[in-house]
Amino acid sequence: MKRWKEIARTVADAHNLPPELLANRRALEELLISVMKNQGNIPTTFQGWRFEIITETLLNGIQNSNG
């Protein structure tokens, strides 16, 4: 979770957006639970415009930390 918060902060800074707008703690927890349960369903919060901006980066971060 700490790593994802860092990613959110970095991506938000790069896009001049507040980190909470991209991925607040509750949303990050929801995504993490989805990934850990291998549901393959991305929560709606991380679909749409957020997908291109942050979701792929977060998912890559989780895969890299598991490998």
The topology (CATH level 3) of 2-66 is DNA polymerase; domain 1 (1.10.150)
pTM: predicted TM-score of the whole model, two decimal places: 0.77
How far are the Cα atoms of 4, 24, 32 from residue 1, in angstroms, in the given order? 5, 11, 8
Let me know the angle formed at the C-alpha of 4 by 39 and 53, rounded to the nearest 5 degrees: 80
pLDDT at 3: 87
Contact 61, 4 (CB under 8 A): yes
Residue extents of the structural domains in the chain? 2-66
Comparing CA positions, the residue from 23, 20, 15 lying closest to residue 61 is: 23
* pLDDT tens for each residue of the chain, 67 residues long: 888 899 999 999 999 999 999 999 999 999 888 888 876 788 888 999 999 899 989 888 766 665 4
